[in-house]
Amino acid sequence: MNTFVPSERSRVKRLFKRAHYDADTVHRLIDEIGTGSVGYVIKGQPYVTPTLVWREGERVYWHGSSASRMLRKVHGGVPVCVNVFHLDGFVLARSGMHSSVNYRSATLFGTAALIKDAAEKEASLKAFLDRFVPGRWETLRPVQAQELKATSVVGMTIEEASAKIRTGHCEDDEEDYALDIWAGLVPVRTVIGEPEDDPRLKPGVPRPEHLKGIRIG
């Protein structure tokens, strides 16, 4: 599948020029942003749970405790909406109307279900850590069977998706460009800070190279 075909559910209603339905763009945003908001319904009430998300092919994954509300709910397979979003900056125009923000956003629709097979679950948790801290998994103490049981992983095949991206400067009303008002961009970025050693770090254990590979945002 190279392009998601938008239905009433996924078609971007506003500012279609910012809309993208190609799988490459949707996948790239999931991979870049890394944080997601999972929306689901229980007895007519909407819930939104923030989480880290990762992707393999046409499937997105997230994880959590087996006791969490969201993960118990999706046990049997339920309709879910996942949004990944990153604010990239403020677009400050000469009027309130044309002031905006730059951002990357992708909204994914599908049916979420727990991954029950232990081997598949362990593989997906490795893929999870590889996404955020590539190379770290192999350095860790191996996973124990009861830890796998206490962890739930949810997978969702992306049935429909849309992306929306805004970049660049404002588009002011033509006559407003003559005003003595400052306009421009103020970028917003996610940055990875300097690592801090655990207070109980065993003496002599060095900081691993894989810390330099952390990516999010």
Q: How far apart are CA 23 and CA 158, in angstroms?
A: 10
Stretch of residues binding a copy of itself (CB under 8 A), selected from 22-30, 53-61, 113-121, 195-203: 195-203
Interface positions, 80-109, toward a copy of itself (CB under 8 A): 80-83, 85, 87, 89-90, 92-97, 99, 101, 103, 105, 107, 109
Single residue of 23, 28, 31, 35 touching a copy of itself by CB under 8 A: 35
Q: What residue type is assigned to position 87 of the chain?
A: L
The set of residues, in sequence order, having a beta carbon less than 8 Å from that of 51 and lying 6+ positions away, is 35, 36, 37, 38, 62, 63, 64
Beta-carbon-side half-sphere exposure of residue 212 (alpha carbons within 13 Å): 3
# binding residues, a copy of itself (CB under 8 A): 97
- Cβ-based nearer residue to a copy of itself, 2 or 28: 28
For residue 34, the minimal CB distance to a copy of itself (Å) is 8
For residue 152, the minimal CB distance to a copy of itself (Å) is 11
- Cβ-based nearer residue to a copy of itself, 118 or 186: 186
Single residue of 5, 117, 119, 196 touching a copy of itself by CB under 8 A: 196
The set of residues, in sequence order, having a beta carbon less than 8 Å from that of 72 and lying 6+ positions away, is 66
How far is C-alpha 87 from the geometric centre of its chain's CA atoms?
Answer: 12
Interface positions, 167-186, toward a copy of itself (CB under 8 A): 169-170, 172, 176-186
Stretch of residues binding a copy of itself (CB under 8 A), selected from 24-32, 54-62, 113-121, 193-201: 193-201
Element (H, E) at 33: helix 23-33
Q: How far apart are CA 69 and CA 84, in angstroms?
A: 20
Q: How far apart are CA 49 and CA 46, in angstroms?
A: 10
Interface positions, 126-145, toward a copy of itself (CB under 8 A): 129, 132-133, 136-137, 139-141, 143-144
